[in-house]
Structure 1
Amino acid sequence: MEASVLKSEIRASESTLLDLKGRKIEAMKELRKMQRDEHIPAEEIEEQKVWTDQIEAQILAQADALIELEEQLDTLRAQEHESEE
């Protein structure tokens, strides 16, 4: 894979990661608001907790994917550097 393609994928992955972090913040705000409202059933609060946990899992998976892409780019650059010598 070319370095330019990897860089493009890294930027897209970083953007997705930022979007997911924003979603998690919003989900956490909603969860806290729900927890303060004594009229909201416990089941709804639990659903919001599950949703927040799912977003966290997506963040971790996206971070892993980003790390993998960065490692691929580092490997490609090292190979290019070796071939230039």
Structure 2
Amino acid sequence: MSFPKQSEIEVPILLEIQAAGGELRPNPTLFQELAKYFPQLTEEDLKATNRTGINTWENKVHWSRLSLVHKGEMDK
């Protein structure tokens, strides 16, 4: 598994929000669109779960989004 760092996911999140007109909540389509920025992610990576059963990719996206909120770069 070669997941991007949290900070590497932040700019694509902002780009997708901008493309959506300035407002976008995490959803399955967003997770798929963000994955396109990282061609090293395999289908296996995108389906992987952590030990508590949470999808690893979606979890990373959520944490990256939260980081942007804490930095004041986007609203919650």
User: TM-score interval w.r.t. the shorter chain?
Assistant: 0.3 to 0.5
TM-score by length of 2: 0.34
